Amino acid sequence: MTAPVIPVAPPLKDELDIVIPTIRNLDFLEMWRPFFQPYHLIIVQDGDPTKIIKVPEGFDYELYNRNDINRILGPKASCISFKDSACRCFGFMISKKKYIYTIDDDCFVAKDPTGKDINALQQHIHNLLTPSTPFFFNTLYDPYREGADFVRGYPFSMREGVPTAISHGLWLNIPDYDAPTQLVKPRERNTRYVDAVMTIPKRTIFPMCGMNLGFDRELIGPAMYFGLMGDGQPIGRYDDMWAGWCAKVICDHLSLGVKTGLPYIWHSKASNPFVNLKKEYKGIYWQEEIIPFFQSVTFSKESTTVQKCYIELSKMVKEKLSPVDPYFQKLADAMLTWIEAWEELNSPAKSAPAANADTKKK
């Protein structure tokens, strides 16, 4: 007699939200249905709030547009970018789950070298649930994956690792290049599948891309602010970079880990390099001073939480980067507003989902 098949619940089904910023119908979800349908989606609609965004049948989701953001946050809504994918961080704030996975709507399911569909979400979950090793580099990369371990010479006192706060995934097909590189290499495509996950070492800054990203909201959520970008701002396409730089220095201070590598998604569409250059050109210039700033950041002993670190960091941004451009004074103020809004929405009294969002359960 054949034993009954016991259904296996998807990992972290009730502990993870998928956050998607968009300006268009979410037809791309059909490809992701086998992997995403068991999870709750938070859709942040950018641009015209009167536009109707269509979501395929069968997904459990909440949809927030600019009117919802203004209603929920009031004057503090000024910290959420408009006409820029940075608006996704509102979804991070409104979520009540422990983990977040965020993906762009032009990212499709990739295939591994055997031709099998890659379950990106499953790999991110594995990355987040296993430790990181930021203090000593393991030459076999992730020692916690099947078939690997710590190499000879790795100190036993460091083999427990530290909690993983961020899992940074990569992309096949269209690489995440800046505008000058896009212009020089318009036909370049990433076809290399590197089967590796590694911890980014302590005191090493990295360029974080938000299109295929997982993180532990309870460990690092308040630092995942994607800044002031887009409409009315002098810069764009640095939203995820800013969040990555801020989050990484805070992770280093609080002994948390950041991983990069697997999983891959298929990035389907190259954005216009001339439009990108207009958005990026100040950032390309400014980052030559921004990066040394972050490399020199040190926090006080009193900064024992992410929120305290972020408030201290905002003061450093105002002091050290405002001479570069007045924009950074505005950004530093927005960082404080973000923390105030985060704490207001995530106090025990606000534990229930925000009322009046477009919520669908099908």
Q: What one-character-per-residue DSSP string does 137-177 give?
A: --TTS-TTSTT--PPTT--GGGTT-B-EEEEEEEEEES---
Strand partners, 167: 214, 259
Asked if the model's pLDDT at residue 352 lies above 90, the reply is no
How many Å apart are CA 358 and CA 253, to the nearest integer? Answer: 39
The distance from CA 228 to its chain's CA centroid, rounded to whole angstroms, is 15
Residue 349 pLDDT greater than 80, yes or no: no
Query: Phi and psi of 85, rounded to 5°?
Result: -65, -10
As a whole number, mean pLDDT of residues 101-105 equals 98
Which phi and psi angles does 361 have, rounded to 5°?
Answer: -130, 115
- pLDDT tens track for 275-308: 999 999 999 999 999 999 999 999 999 999 999 9
User: Which residues partner with 44 through β-bridges?
Assistant: 21, 64
pLDDT of residue 309: 98
Residue 237 has pLDDT above 90, yes or no: yes
* Cβ atoms 213, 272 nearer than 8 A: no
End-to-end CA distance of the chain: 36
- Predicted local distance difference test score (pLDDT) of residue 96: 97
pLDDT of 270 reads 85
C-alpha distances (whole Å) from 290 to each of 15, 230, 236, 322, 328 are 35, 19, 15, 11, 10
Identify the pLDDT of residue 3.
Answer: 57
| Closest C-alpha to 99, from 39, 155, 154 | 39
- Arithmetic mean of pLDDT, 325-349: 95
| Percent of the chain whose predicted confidence (pLDDT) is above 70 | 94
Distance (Å, rounded) from C-alpha 163 to C-alpha 132?
Answer: 6
Question: Distance between CA atoms of 93 and 243, rounded to whole angstroms?
Answer: 14
Average predicted confidence (pLDDT) for the chain? 95
Residue 356's pLDDT band (cuts 50, 70, 90): low
Instruction: Please give the residue that has the higher pLDDT: either 246 or 347.
Output: 246
Long-range contacts of 272-275 (CB under 8 A, 24+ apart): 273/179, 273/182, 273/183, 273/186, 274/179, 274/183
Between CA 295 and CA 171 the distance in angstroms is 27
How far, in Å, CA of 319 to CA of 331, rounded? 12
Determine the length of the chain: 362
pLDDT at 56 over 90: yes
**pLDDT at res. 355:** 46
Do the beta carbons of residue 97 and residue 15 sit within 8 Å? yes
Distance, C-alpha 80 to centroid of its chain: 15
Binning pLDDT at 50, 70 and 90, where does residue 362 land?
very low
**Surface-to-core class of residue 281, CB atoms within 10 Å of its CB (0-12 exposed, 13-18 middle, 19+ buried):** middle
Alpha carbons 63 and 53: distance in angstroms, whole number: 9
d(CA 179, CA 279): 9
Helix ranges (DSSP H) in the chain: 29-36, 66-73, 89-94, 120-129, 179-184, 217-220, 239-254, 273-295, 306-321, 327-345
Would you say 208 and 99 are in contact if contact means Cβ atoms under 8 Å apart?
Answer: no
What distance in Å separates the CA atoms of residue 231 and residue 48, rounded to the nearest whole number? 12
Please report the pLDDT score of residue 98 as a whole number: 98
Instruction: Encode pLDDT of 110-160 as tens digits.
Output: 999 999 999 999 999 999 999 999 999 999 999 999 999 999 999 999 999
Q: What is the DSSP string of 114-131?
A: TSPBP-HHHHHHHHHHS-
- The DSSP secondary-structure symbol of 55 reads -
- Checking if the pLDDT of 354 tops 60, the result is no
